[in-house]
Structure 1
Amino acid sequence: MPRRDLPPPPPPAHLRAWLDETAVRDDRARFLLDLGRRSLGLGRLLLLWAVSAVFALGWSFVGMGLMAFEEGDPVAFVLGIVFVALGAGVLVPAAFWFAWGARRDRQVHRLLCAWAETTRDPVTDRQVRAPGRSLTWLLASFLVGVAGLWVTFGVAVSARPGQETYGEVAYCMGLGMILWITGLLGLGKAGVHYRWAVRAFRAPRRG
């Protein structure tokens, strides 16, 4: 996966007093806008969906393995083992990919907090708040989460003995759970960014 280095942390307060104020403000604007796009940009949303798609692919292999096991045929049993192994081969790297992204998000958030506290710039602060991007994350994640809940509970309620196998039900419910968790993560990220922006860029008290 291609990886770019993150912006550096801001210089300590005792060193900023010796630096050119305009240069510090320009660095703050450039780094905050870059970090804001990394945190809540459209590319980050698509990356979250890409990770979820990989999880769905891995679970599809596992689901095919479960359905093969239910056939009770020796050949199907061997195919089931192959499918489960393929699923594990996809799910394990996806889990590492997800963990890497979560760690990266924490680093970006720490840098956002640090640079936001260095000084104030109304123009930059307004852009970093990004209410439009927050709303996009919120609406898109809400729709994905609703779709996941509909698939999960819809399959559980409509399943009938003799019509759907346990493997088919587990497969569909697993896909629904992946969608639901993806939507929940997106909603949480949008909410965290909004709450942080309100605290970080609120107008200073007078008097």
Structure 2
Amino acid sequence: MPDSSPPPPPGPAPDRPSRPDRAAHLAERAEALRELVPSYLARRRALLLWLAAGLIAVGWAAIWVGCRYVAMGDVVSVVLGVFCLALAVGLVVPSTLAVASGVREDLEARERLLAWAGSARDRDSLARWHSPGRALFWLLPSLVLCCFGSASAAMAAVDGSARALGFALLAGGTGALGMAKAVGYYRLVSRELTVSKD
């Protein structure tokens, strides 16, 4: 779901770069991070993830309703059940594929982001790519989802409700994906603020 092709990974840096070479590399690094971070933490990506998770939840509910209708046995109930199951497949399969594709793209973008961030360290360029607002947009709702999913999963395990457990795992998994992105970004910023020994 990135807007454009991300910058290529950084090339190998010399062991003892000269000052002009280091300045050029830091400028290239800052520009790459300025492109990568807003794309990686884009709010629309979070909204698409939550939308896909919501559609999967609706599909899971449709599976549950469809199975109950089919179990009734009469013709009308079976027809309604088959319709609900078909609707569930139409919601769950594309949404799951979209989430999987987004996760794969996120992993690729994260590797590139870490490669550029690890190629040097420069506090002066941090202000040009630091995006705390985007990170909070990912972190706070994801934290709520993760806590809600964990608590609901614990209650569903006690009650033995497979339907509630499915919703809880979906909420917790969606929240965990968002938290992983936000926490990884905060670790990146923390590393940038650490005094380099170079």
Q: TM-score normalised by the shorter chain: which range applies?
A: 0.7 to 0.9
Partner of 2:187: 195
The amino acid that maps onto 1:189 is K
The amino acid that maps onto 1:42 is R
The amino acid that maps onto 1:57 is V
Distance 1:75 1:140, change over 3 A: same
Deviations 1:5-57 (Å, cap 9, x if unpaired)?
A: 2222223336xx79966554333222202211222232332222122122123
How far off its partner does 1:94 sit?
1.7
How far off its partner does 1:101 sit?
1.0
How far off its partner does 1:152 sit?
4.9
The amino acid that maps onto 1:7 is P
Percent same amino acid among aligned pairs?
34
Larger CA deviation: 117-126 vs 62-71: 117-126
2:125 and 2:65 map into 1 onto residues whose CA distance is 51
Partner of 2:121: 120
Deviations 1:121-170 (Å, cap 9, x if unpaired)?
A: 313335545445444433211212233345555567679xxxxxxxxx54
Deviation above 6 Å: which 4+ runs of structure 1? 17-20, 155-159
How far off its partner does 1:105 sit?
1.0
2:184 and 2:169 map into 1 onto residues whose CA distance is 22
2:159 and 2:21 map into 1 onto residues whose CA distance is 67
Q: Does 1:175 align with 2:176?
A: no
Question: How many residues end up aligned between the 2 structures?
Answer: 195
Partner of 2:144: 143
How far off its partner does 1:2 sit?
7.9
Partner of 1:68: 69
Q: Is the 8 A contact 2:29 2:116 kept in 1?
A: yes
Q: Does 1:8 align with 2:8?
A: yes
Distance 1:196 1:61, change over 3 A: same
Q: Is the 8 A contact 2:121 2:192 kept in 1?
A: no
Q: Is the 8 A contact 2:2 2:40 kept in 1?
A: no
Distance 1:127 1:65, change over 3 A: farther
Distance 1:158 1:115, change over 3 A: closer
Q: Is the 8 A contact 2:42 2:134 kept in 1?
A: yes
The amino acid that maps onto 2:41 is L
Q: Is the 8 A contact 1:113 1:200 kept in 2?
A: no
Query: Taking structure 1 as the reference length, what is the TM-score of the superposition?
Result: 0.74
The amino acid that maps onto 2:138 is W
Larger CA deviation: 30-39 vs 124-133: 124-133
Q: Is the 8 A contact 1:33 1:124 kept in 2?
A: no
Distance 1:152 1:80, change over 3 A: farther
Distance 1:67 1:128, change over 3 A: farther
* Stretches of structure 1 lacking an aligned partner (at least 5 in a row): 160-168
Partner of 1:37: 38
How far off its partner does 1:119 sit?
3.4
1:26 and 1:132 map into 2 onto residues whose CA distance is 24
Larger CA deviation: 138-147 vs 127-136: 127-136
